[in-house]
């Protein structure tokens, strides 16, 4: 089986790593890196740590408007697909790279397999939701993390070729347990190593909804600065200037801004922290895997499974609301684990083999 995999953003590298490991040696997999995330600590480090094969195609497309970025990717991916003529085009999650990969392939009559299909927030005002919906509707195989997303697809009339296979993030999470963790320690904006406090909260924030003006981040920082322990925040490049300026202007001295960290370091920060505050889809799942209480600063649920027993709670981008949600300690039942068994990738490969054309 020949597979062209399209990836371009940090969470996609983490998911792609699990699939590539399972596919290696049996199948031919060619990676197209769109370039959506390109900094060394948003891209290279994941290839290095998770031993992802080098991309054959690197498109170098990032920034600009959604349309400009997606259009350029579409053209670049089309060239790669025409040259490779794969049996499958595999796309992950919900970024512009996902959408561009799916559209390029379906127009060439190359079947699309979508990993993390059926995830829904329920509003097209969220840019990732547009990518999810369109990708699902043009995919030949839809791999959902659980039955819940299968139900979402059914409501949209997609009933065939949908398989609940587990969550690739969980495959990677379990795999990472056996890996070396000290490859690239966290550093601040001046490249000084982070001295990890004994107790701290782990914050990530990067969604368009929370980074389009000062207000949401200011509310989040105000909440974090009032907590009983410092906050460690690896800042997404999109937010770097704003985060540094707000900390300076408002004297948020309990917030430690650091550069984005690699996957292993992110898991280390997660496992040792008190609680997580995030707007990341991936990190709220990982908090759930790790049994850490999480507050998600967003107005919609994306992973309802993680909300069980208030282990993950939504908060508005409002300091009081965030503090209120953080205040209560939740009981965590770690036996509830709906995201598979760490063998999602193997299941996907078997289903792709069984559904080959011709």
Query: Which residue ranges make up the site for ligand UDP (CB under 6 A)?
Result: 10-11, 14, 204, 206, 234, 260-263, 266, 280-283, 286
Minimum separation from the CB atom of position 44 to ligand UDP (A): 12
Cα-based distances in Å from 153 to 134, 142, 143, 218: 12, 9, 11, 37
CB nearer ligand UDP, residue 221 or residue 289: 289
Which residues make Cβ contacts (< 8 Å) with residue 341, sequence separation at least 6?
166
Which entry of 33, 37, 114, 206 is annotated as an active-site residue?
206
Q: Nearest to ligand UDP by Cβ — which residue?
A: 282
Alpha carbon distance 230, 355 (integer Å): 51
Secondary structure element (H or E) that encloses residue 297, with its range: strand 294-297
CB nearer ligand UDP, residue 87 or residue 233: 233
Minimum separation from the CB atom of position 214 to ligand UDP (A): 21
Alpha carbon distance 28, 249 (integer Å): 52
CB nearer ligand UDP, residue 87 or residue 265: 265
Alpha carbon distance 114, 89 (integer Å): 9
Residues forming beta bridges with residue 5, ordered by sequence position: 31, 90
Alpha carbon distance 35, 62 (integer Å): 6
Cα-based distances in Å from 337 to 155, 216, 291, 340: 25, 32, 10, 7
Q: Is 27 a catalytic residue?
A: no
Minimum separation from the CB atom of position 109 to ligand UDP (A): 29
CB nearer ligand UDP, residue 55 or residue 282: 282
Minimum separation from the CB atom of position 316 to ligand UDP (A): 18
Residues with a known catalytic role: 206
């Amino acid at each position: 089986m020949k597979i062209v995999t399209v990836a371009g953003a940090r969470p996609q590298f983490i998911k792609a790593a699990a699939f590539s490991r399972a596919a290696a040696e049996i199948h031919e997999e060619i990676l197209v890196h769109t370039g959506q995330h390109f900094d060394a600590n948003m891209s290279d480090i994941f290839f290095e740590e998770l031993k992802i094969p080098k991309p054959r195609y690197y498109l170098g497309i990032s920034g600009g408007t959604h349309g400009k970025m997606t259009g350029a990717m579409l053209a670049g991916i089309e060239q790669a697909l025409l040259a490779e003529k794969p049996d499958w085009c595999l796309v992950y999650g919900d970024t512009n790279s996902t959408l561009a990969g799916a559209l390029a392939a379906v127009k060439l009559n190359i079947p699309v397999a979508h990993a993390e299909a059926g995830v829904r927030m329920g509003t097209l005002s969220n840019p990732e939701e547009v990518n999810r919906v369109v990708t699902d509707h043009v995919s030949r195989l839809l791999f959902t993390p659980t039955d819940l997303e299968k139900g979402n697809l059914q409501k949209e009339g997609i009933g065939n070729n949908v398989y609940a296979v587990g969550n690739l993030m969980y495959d990677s999470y379990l795999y990472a347990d056996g890996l070396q963790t000290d490859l690239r320690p966290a550093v601040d904006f001046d490249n000084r190593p982070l001295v990890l406090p004994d107790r701290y909260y782990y914050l990530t924030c990067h969604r368009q909804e929370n980074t389009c003006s000062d207000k949401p981040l200011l509310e989040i920082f105000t909440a974090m600065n009032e907590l009983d322990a410092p906050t460690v925040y690896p800042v997404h490049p999109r937010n770097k200037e704003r985060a540094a300026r707000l900390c300076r202007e408002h004297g948020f001295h309990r917030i430690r801004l650091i550069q984005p960290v690699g996957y292993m370091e992110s898991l280390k920060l997660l496992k040792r922290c008190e609680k997580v505050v995030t707007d990341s889809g991936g990190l709220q799942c990982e908090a759930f895997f790790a049994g850490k209480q999480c507050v998600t600063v967003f107005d919609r649920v994306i992973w309802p499974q993680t909300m069980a027993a208030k282990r993950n709670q939504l908060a508005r981008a409002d300091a009081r609301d965030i503090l209120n949600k953080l205040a209560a300690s939740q009981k965590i039942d770690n036996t509830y684990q709906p995201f598979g068994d760490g063998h999602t990738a193997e299941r996907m490969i078997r289903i792709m083999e069984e559904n080959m054309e011709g």
